[in-house]
Structure 1
């Protein structure tokens, strides 16, 4: 396909932007860091493969034990009829990788005539029930329901090999999404191809196994998603809910469509039916009943389609018409579809902008939207991508994302709102959106006013080249604001600045988004000073060079035993070398969980000498009841009162005095701690932002 003018403009703007940001990085970060950043941006990596599929070794039967509990959270019900070797492989997989959740395993034998009875009796921990006569799959499952003791019943075919973590992923879904009434696993063929990531039901009652023969890592199938039904080969449901329905419906005996009927009953009862791709189960489809619908038990599939269609005729009128080809646009047609375009997926454990974006996504999902994330670099973000997929976000990446323009050409028409994050991303993508998604409301998220931050950095360093670069950034940001429908700002101070610089722009305030974590440890139990911030952000590096080099020695003179914990990713060697000269300074670098430092450190410091926007490091500390000493720049636009919510100090001596005072004054510490928590709830919580999010994205 030939390149359109919009595509050409996108690629040209991206190249020019990379050159400009590279030159700016050389001036502020040096050549080593800049070279490393360029390498990361230019490197195209295939998505990391998930762990290889586990398969138990084929071996002669010998006694072994399976997980068991007298008080199980989940009861795994495995109906069997002959095929003892498959049952053995399934049980061996459960034994090799026992779930973390307490469970029991019930094998319900529907009158097998092979080795099943003899083998099952010799497996320790297994609950084995033999039916008096063969009644079929539904009868065996309902026997298992009557025998189950767990809070959840998990139906599992005997011709499956559950993969490590499968059960815990299913059960965690009920905790993550309380409205869940039924959740199914992603089913795979033994060769690793996708068998089904949830099922689609058409208006005539026929069904489609979504994703069959595709890659399970394809973005269309890899995220948590509402499904029309989930196969009874591997699904979980609250036992009380299944009992309320009387088990699986005997109208579909001996088998087929009972799982589809169950899913429709769950939805009719006000619950959600979800497919959980984090739960992987290999299914040797057709082992029990074959695949020929013209004869044998499989023939009941054709008959039961009509039974199902007659029972759910009203509900089926809302389904896709038979003959449709399901895809994301159609499957989410009843939802408001929101596209987020940024360079890479957010990493909320690394920077405050990512945490804000991650929590915004959570709010959009809670508001009923379907969220799609498009990283312009095309990279799979590893755990960060999986975290979004676990929420239900459709995250695209290479090799399925083959260029932003090509992707928008295919998908652009389905979105009502597009969020563009950062001015250089927005300026590159706007021409493509005008061409391929003209119907969408465009929202520009500044994250902070980059030109304001760059201008202040240039003034602090007295660098005219940085000042000129800041003016170019200003022109780019203002042009994007003029070209988009809404601009998101993070502080009232920035809104006031824009009232002067761009009075005609429609702006909305959406500040940092935090959950109020609570008080943490009490004053007497807390120790030391804490700073949290990533060092790819120039204001953070300057802040630590100043604090460690000039401020902390003054503090140590008055508090000789005090320690300072510097936490944040991408620490340069120069900062580590400086820290090594100062007793009491510990540079931890990246830590996966900062909560112990927020809840256990006595005082947080925010010694920023330039910057813009709202400082997530201050929000994070306050959300954990940790008082803060900040510079005027760091406290700007955060609704903070000096001496009530925060201590504000500028200059090395004044900053050191404030830290010592807050560290030693228990009454002052308690006042700031309590008021800081109130500040987060009033101004930076998700409840505080709900009206803006609804107005901008959901109305």
Structure 2
């Protein structure tokens, strides 16, 4: 007990998630959020240990949640003053068992009284951190057939306690990640688990009651969370580990640590009960002594490694958004996804974003070089996707040598040589023309050497099919959520261009837009503003800051402009691939005026899904026409949405990925 109390003492840290509530704070009345129509019912069973219960409740009061919730404490005949004190906590629903029901009975009693559509079972020896509840709810909104979602659990001293559980074929179990660093990327991505701890477990109320709640045959406690997970999967639902919900758990306070005394003694007995009940299902579990990194992923039949130049950031470029959405789809299709940037660098935010789509980020200092990782983990790989020719070229031979049976995909992102050829023609630059020819030879050689090549545009698909008829070329274009039109014509105003200077065609487009197109438009309609969004260097901004131009730079969320502006612009004069800025605008129902090159390969018709113009005067005329013609605006808005649904939606990409990357048959990972 002294050790545990010491661990709860304040630490010298700036991490807000680790400012734990002390156990020795004198009680003073406080209030909990409490909704009459809660979305979530938080159920905390207790049997004494009042200081821990108060610390748990104070942490809930401190961090709250975006979703409406209620807190139900179920007192199981506590021998201390818990009931008298807890009655003074405003907003708390306090239930008392007439007799001692044990952990399972108390949880089921709390569930019976709950008003929320979701139940969150929370031990009283826990403390919550920001996002504890909302991120669990995300799993039910974002994951197909989610039945249970569980938190990442950490000890009070900061070490990881559990990142989801493994159940072996003999009924034994292991808390994945126990005693390791809680911020290791291995534990920071969402994935399926055999079970999650009942210390912080969310389940839909209807599902909980449909499977019979916590099975009373495990009373008073132990193995009930494993049993619930198996029951949920038996009815076709999934059990998910959610690392973005971090909960501190002081293990052993509720039931002790001695396996031969108190409630803890039921652990062995209940495991026998569990094995008897689930003997058929256990045949599908990994056998004991299976390496833990294989056992934790045993339900996933395939593993793909993706290597790109940088860790994707959807706020930076459309290629990142496409890759993140491809990762999300691969995981939905049953693939385990690992990602490595060519420089092995990733920020904590980037690791979390990849984790949100179920991808494990391999980066410094956590992961070794690509060669070292392939030597140790390559045996698990069924496919490797190398993105961009300058990443694929130096790594292809390494992959072929160390992972000979893996299917190798070359994702062009866009054809670099085509973009460079067009840039050379646009600028009449002979040096760039020679560079484009060198890039062409490299890209074509890579295409011939890889099993499958991915392109984003039908134009590029046709070009490569003519050049290399023997190669397998597949169209996997941009992938966008169809947001729909949230705002009509009248409330909108202004024009928007999205694109940063880190992509040369965008810089050229912005300079042409501000230098030639917008001055003509502003002279006729000074009431129409132009919004520029994207990475624009400070040194370039003075020359762009002309009347009517608003430079916003890089923004975290495009929605205000997608729903507030009347017209999106794409005045690109060269480039390749499919333009994410056009897809993004259309996915929000925002009509677009573009050049022919910006609309290339997107199955767009002038006057139906888009307006096209390739000179400054024509561009201005198209913008003014669309800005003032409500009927035309609505036609383009509707047809643009239809275009995204048909060609650039998750459904379209899912069908392509399912065809080109079918799940391989189950295999033995013990030999290459």
Please tell me the TM-score bracket, short chain as reference: over 0.9
Q: Confirm or deny: 8 A CA contact 1:226 1:273 kept in the other structure.
A: yes
Range with greater deviation from structure 2 (659-668 or 88-97): 659-668
CA drift at 1:464: 2.1
1:628 aligned partner:
592
1:576 aligned partner:
541
- Name stretches of at least 5 consecutive residues in structure 2 with no aligned partner: 1-12, 664-672
Q: Confirm or deny: 8 A CA contact 1:530 1:566 kept in the other structure.
A: yes
2:21 aligned partner:
56
Q: Structure 1's 293 and 416: CA in aligned 2 closer, same or farther, altered over 3 A?
A: same
Q: Are 2:112 and 1:141 aligned?
A: no
Q: Confirm or deny: 8 A CA contact 1:549 1:578 kept in the other structure.
A: no
Matched residues in 2 for 1:473 and 1:209: separation? 49
Match of 1:72 among 38, 41, 55: 38
Matched residues in 2 for 1:234 and 1:516: separation? 34
2:349 aligned partner:
383
2:336 aligned partner:
370
1:490-505 map, 5 Å: 490-505=456-471
CA drift at 1:475: 1.9
Range with greater deviation from structure 2 (130-139 or 412-421): 130-139
1:125-136 map, 5 Å: 125-136=91-102
Q: Structure 1's 683 and 169: CA in aligned 2 closer, same or farther, altered over 3 A?
A: closer
CA drift at 1:590: 0.9
Matched residues in 2 for 1:462 and 1:130: separation? 83
Q: Are 2:652 and 1:692 aligned?
A: no
Q: Confirm or deny: 8 A CA contact 1:220 1:327 kept in the other structure.
A: no
1:426 aligned partner:
392
What's the TM-score once normalised by structure 1's chain length? 0.89
Matched residues in 2 for 1:679 and 1:324: separation? 48
Q: Structure 1's 533 and 120: CA in aligned 2 closer, same or farther, altered over 3 A?
A: same
SS in 2 for 1:137: helix
Q: Structure 1's 73 and 311: CA in aligned 2 closer, same or farther, altered over 3 A?
A: same
Match of 1:480 among 416, 426, 446: 446
Q: Confirm or deny: 8 A CA contact 2:465 2:473 kept in the other structure.
A: no
1:215-254 map, 5 Å: 215-254=181-220
Matched residues in 1 for 2:212 and 2:515: separation? 71
CA drift at 1:683: 2.1
1:32 aligned partner:
none
**Residues 312-370 of structure 1 deviation map (CA, whole Å, 9 limit, x = unaligned):** 11111111112323114762454222221112222222311112212222222222222
SS in 1 for 2:292: coil
CA drift at 1:138: 1.6
CA drift at 1:385: 2.5
2:552 aligned partner:
588
Match of 1:92 among 46, 58, 70: 58
CA drift at 1:500: 4.1
1:514 aligned partner:
480
Matched residues in 2 for 1:576 and 1:544: separation? 11
Match of 2:142 among 169, 172, 176: 176
Q: Confirm or deny: 8 A CA contact 1:220 1:328 kept in the other structure.
A: no
1:7 aligned partner:
none
**Residues 397-445 of structure 1 deviation map (CA, whole Å, 9 limit, x = unaligned):** 2211221111111111212221111111111211221122111111111
1:438-457 map, 5 Å: 438-457=404-423
Matched residues in 2 for 1:521 and 1:66: separation? 37
**Residues 633-660 of structure 1 deviation map (CA, whole Å, 9 limit, x = unaligned):** 2222222222333222222223223323
Q: Structure 1's 504 and 120: CA in aligned 2 closer, same or farther, altered over 3 A?
A: same
Matched residues in 1 for 2:452 and 2:140: separation? 36
Q: Structure 1's 246 and 668: CA in aligned 2 closer, same or farther, altered over 3 A?
A: closer
Matched residues in 2 for 1:609 and 1:93: separation? 56
Matched residues in 2 for 1:672 and 1:112: separation? 66
1:291 aligned partner:
257
SS in 2 for 1:341: strand
Q: Confirm or deny: 8 A CA contact 1:545 1:575 kept in the other structure.
A: no
Matched residues in 2 for 1:135 and 1:371: separation? 44
CA drift at 1:374: 1.6
CA drift at 1:50: 6.6
- Name stretches of at least 5 consecutive residues in structure 1 with no aligned partner: 1-47
What's the TM-score once normalised by structure 2's chain length? 0.93
Q: Which ranges of 4 or more aligned residues in structure 1 deviate by more than 6 Å?
A: none
**Residues 482-531 of structure 1 deviation map (CA, whole Å, 9 limit, x = unaligned):** 11011111112112322343333210111122233223433333222221
How many positions carry a matched residue from both structures?
A: 650
Range with greater deviation from structure 2 (440-449 or 111-120): 111-120
1:9 aligned partner:
none
Match of 1:211 among 173, 177, 181: 177
**Residues 32-84 of structure 1 deviation map (CA, whole Å, 9 limit, x = unaligned):** xxxxxxxxxxxxxxxx9975413113311222222222222222221211211
Q: Are 2:331 and 1:327 aligned?
A: no
CA drift at 1:532: 0.8
Matched residues in 1 for 2:332 and 2:226: separation? 26
CA drift at 1:100: 2.3
Range with greater deviation from structure 2 (262-271 or 363-372): 363-372
Matched residues in 2 for 1:670 and 1:395: separation? 42
1:615 aligned partner:
579
What is the aligned-residue RMSD (CA, Å)? 2.0
Q: Structure 1's 342 and 104: CA in aligned 2 closer, same or farther, altered over 3 A?
A: same
Q: Confirm or deny: 8 A CA contact 2:327 2:358 kept in the other structure.
A: no
Q: Confirm or deny: 8 A CA contact 1:293 1:301 kept in the other structure.
A: yes
